[in-house]
Chain A
Amino acid sequence: MKKERKPKLAIWKFSSCDGCQLSLLDCEDELLAVAENIEIANFPEASRLVVKGPYDLSLVEGSITTPHDAERIHQVRRSSKVLVTIGACATAGGIQALRNFKDVREFTSIVYATPSYIETLNKSTPITDHVFVDFELRGCPISKVQLVEVLSAFLNGRKPTTPTYSVCLECKRRGTVCGLVTHGPPCLGPVTQAGCDALCPSYHRGCFGCFGPKETPNTPSLAEYWKGLGMKNLELLHLFRSYNAYAESFRKESEAHEK
């Protein structure tokens, strides 16, 4: 049998914390299998060796926050057959999209000694606002199980199984008792996409919404119900305005409580 060329994988970083791409190194048990089946052609967190493109699969981490990045993402797209974004920054603008609700020039004038050195865009935007994205993998950070699933689906030419329903299904399958009903902390589970295997609720924490809005999220109903229980506008604003602040339904919900 003819030895087939291994697909070339490239990992690209934009505005981000590196946590998502490190999930690949975090794969441990699966890492050898990944390396056996894929040529890691560009992954600065793991190796200085860079193999020239084009690449069969590009994983893009981070959001677009500078004019330079807005250019660079087009080069990445041109050199990639399949482009997959990984994480909340790349798919929704990330925590740095908090700037989108304020005046960035005001921030830079307070934070930096010489603000004129700072060349930055007014908004932090997801990759899909700039180039065509083949697949978006959610999470802050992404789940390594889902990452392996995406890689495995890509290698085997099938669709990845990454459900878009709520975190609640994962909670209930695990048998975790619902914190919302038992007077636990506020939980975004009912409006957040599954994928983390309901990690936080299993440690008696509310869901922080790391995986962004689920399919058909009814954020107004949840917010209205919580208001009825005495939650204040500012609390609601903070709940919806975090890692996925700029994802449409979370953005609209936080703006609805901006007073």
Chain B
Amino acid sequence: MSTPRMYRIEPDALNELIQSLRQQHYTVIGPTPRGAAIVLDEITSTSQLPIGKTDEQAPAQYRLKERGDDAMFAFSAGPHSWKRYLFPPVLKLFSSRKNGEGFQISEELPSSDHEEKYALLGVRACDLSAIQIQDKVFGGGTYQDPAYVRVRNQAFIIAVNCTRAGGTCFCSSVRTGPRARVGFDLAMSEVLDSEHYFIVEVGTDRGENVISTVTSRAAEDGEVEKAEHLIRAAAQSTGRSLEPDNTREILYQNSDHPRWDTVAARCLSCANCTMVCPTCFCATVEDTTDLAGTSADRIRKWDSCFTLDFSYIHGGSVRPSSKARYRHWITHKLASWVDQFGTIGCVGCGRCITWCPVGIDITEEFRVIRETYLMKRGTNPNKE
């Protein structure tokens, strides 16, 4: 399509959209307040959205707040990411039964006709980039992950552009947001001033078919511009940044930087950063047997490079110290990821900063190392 198709829908029509998706047998996953945070779960109506709620985020800190208005998407990336649905935390790969001297593997699990057909509502630009990165990891290359590819291909994506910068995120510096560019079926921007409406951009024919089932009209230029202005303002008010260029040289040349010791003294090697990261894709495979030894299951679980077992080979763990593990994580995320997949593995969502129990900030750790690199090259980092 040449010019993006833009519609205006009212908040009530968003509910029509959810119902329409449900009628098309989608399980709609969206943000919903639960306890102390806005999490992702199945929603069946807009009343379950975090209406009038927002979050305040800082390193190791997340607080849910009331806004006192009707905003539905006035919050930032929360504790859950969409990878829970595309790359489930625990997945049974197969069962096997003893069969005489050998064994027989059951039908592949989960069987594809029982797999969920998800509509992901409220995917932020950073998370949209994260999904595209995981598409390369699981769906690209010679060996594809069949479970991921099946669920992913069926997923309907409704992005939501950010009109407010979160306390720990930095998408504009890593060029992933706050505006969703590609990879969505529909992308919405919420406008709430004298009126409350959504500008909906259509990304695919599938998106066009769905939006045609709800009450809408073509958006006027002024309405679109109002939304664009809010997105630009969000980009300008971002408090953190991570400079994504030359990350490979910077990190590869600084594996002995004293900063690794400083951060290792703080790092708990608890793995929270990797669990909340929307691009971290590591998993372990565990086999369990029943007591009689007649059947065995193979189960895949989210794993982390922060565990000792992760790098355990004959003779011991390759990365016994927290220093080695933290350095490995950030070096993979920002440098060797480029060698592997062509982009850095960080999308600037800020989750690893918010959900680190001691508030380690990836942007700050990288900034210190980058400064040393620039200093050695004779570039003043403040004037650069």
CB interface residues, A 25-40, toward B, < 8 Å = 30, 33-34, 36-38
Interchain Cβ contacts within 8 Å, total number = 135
A165 with B322: in contact, given A175-B84, A182-B63 (CB under 8 Å)? no
**Which residues in B have their C-beta under 8 angstroms from that of A151?**
291
Whether the pair A182, B268 counts as a contact (CB closer than 8 A) is no
Docked Cα-Cα span, A215 to B322, in Å, equals: 11
Min CB distance B20 to A, Å, is: 27
A193 and B205 CA atoms in complex are apart in Å by: 49
Known: A165-B271, A168-B272, A218-B268. A178 touches B355 (CB 8 A): yes
In the complex, whether B307 has a CB less than 8 A from a CB of chain A is yes
Pick the most buried of B36, B267, B287, B359: most chain A CB atoms within 10 A of its CB. Answer: B36
A80 interfacial by beta-carbon distance below 8 Å: no
Q: Does A158 have its Cβ within 8 Å of any Cβ on chain B?
A: yes
What is the chain A residue whose CB lies nearest that of B356? A181
Q: Does A255 interact with chain B (Cβ within 8 Å)?
A: no
Complex interface: chain B residues within 8 A of A174 (CB) = 89
Could you tell me if B89 and A172 are in contact, using CB atoms closer than 8 angstroms? yes
Hey, which chain B residues are within 8 Å of A38, CB to CB? 291
User: For residue A152, which residues in chain B have a CB less than 8 angstroms away from its CB?
Assistant: 288-291
Nearest Cβ in chain A — how far from B307, in angstroms?
4
Q: Can you list, as one digit per residue, whether each of B243-272 has a CB less than 8 Å from chain A (1) or not (0)?
A: 000000000000000000000011111111
Question: When the two chains form their complex, are residues B304 and A33 in contact, meaning their CB atoms are under 8 A apart?
Answer: no
CB distance from A185 to the nearest CB of B (A): 12
The residues in A between 118 and 159 inclusive whose CB is less than 8 angstroms from any CB of B are 148-149, 151-153, 155-156, 158
A181 to B37 CA separation, bound complex (whole angstroms): 10
User: For the complex, is B39 an interface residue (Cβ under 8 Å from A)?
Assistant: yes
Known: A155-B291, A181-B62. A189 touches B308 (CB 8 A): no
B226 contacts the other chain (CB 8 A): no
Whether A101 sits at the interface, judged by CB under 8 Å, is no
Interface membership of B315, Cβ < 8 A: no
Pick the contact of B302: A173, A184, A218 (CB < 8 A). A173
- Compute how far the CA of A148 lies from the CA of B270 in the bound complex, rounded to whole angstroms: 26
Flag B279-312 by CB within 8 Å of A: 1 or 0 each: 0000000111111110000000111101111000
Q: How far is the CB of B63 from chain A (nearest CB, A)?
A: 7
With known contacts A172-B276, A177-B36, A204-B35, A36–B292 Cβ distance under 8 A: yes
Judged by a CB distance under 8 angstroms, whether B80 is at the interface is: yes
Contacts known (A216-B269, A216-B322, A218-B269); A225 close to B357, Cβ less than 8 A: yes
Instruction: Return the contact of B275 from the options A33, A158, A173, A177 (Cβ within 8 A).
Output: A173
Q: Please report which residues of chain B, range 76-114, place their CB below 8 angstroms from some CB of chain A when the two chains form the complex.
A: 79-80, 84, 89-90
Contact assessment for B308 and A165 in the assembled complex, using a CB-CB cutoff below 8 Å: yes
Q: How far is the CA of A124 from the CA of B219 in the complex (A)?
A: 75
A161 interface residue, CB < 8 Å from B?
A: yes
Report how many residues on chain B are interfacial, defined by Cβ distance under 8 Å.
Answer: 49
Chain B CB within 8 A of A166 CB: yes
Question: Known contacts being A33-B291, A181-B61, is A175 close to B286, with CB within 8 Å?
Answer: no
Contact between A221 and B304, CB atoms less than 8 A apart = no
Residue of B80, B286, B308, B357 with most chain A CB atoms under a 10 A cut-off? B357
State the CA gap A36–B290 with chains docked (Å).
12
A179 contact set on B, CB distance < 8 A: 36
Chain A residues whose C-beta falls within 8 Å of the C-beta of B354 in the assembled complex: 181
Which of A36, A178, A221, A225 counts the most B-chain CB atoms under 10 A from its CB? A178
Is B25 interfacial (CB-CB < 8 Å)?
Answer: no
**B39 neighbours in A (Cβ, 8 Å):** 175, 177
Report chain B residues within 8 Å CB of A180.
60, 357
Considering only residues 120-177 of chain B, those with a C-beta below 8 Å from chain A are: none
Contact B288 A222 (CB under 8 A): no
Q: Please give me the residue from chain B that is nearest to A221 by CB atom.
A: B266
Chain B residues engaging chain A, CB cutoff 8 angstroms: 34-37, 39, 60-64, 79-80, 84, 89-90, 265-272, 275-276, 286-293, 301-304, 306-309, 320-322, 354-355, 357-359
A sample of 16 cross-chain residue pairs with beta-carbon separation below 8 angstroms, ordered by A number, consists of A36-B292, A151-B291, A168-B270, A168-B271, A169-B275, A169-B302, A172-B272, A175-B84, A177-B35, A177-B36, A182-B36, A214-B270, A216-B269, A216-B308, A217-B268, A218-B268
* Interface pairs A-B: 8 shortest CB-CB: A172-B275, A182-B36, A190-B270, A173-B89, A165-B307, A166-B270, A190-B268, A33-B291
- Chain A residues engaging chain B, CB cutoff 8 angstroms: 30, 33-34, 36-38, 148-149, 151-153, 155-156, 158, 161, 163-166, 168-169, 172-175, 177-184, 189-191, 204, 214-218, 221-222, 225
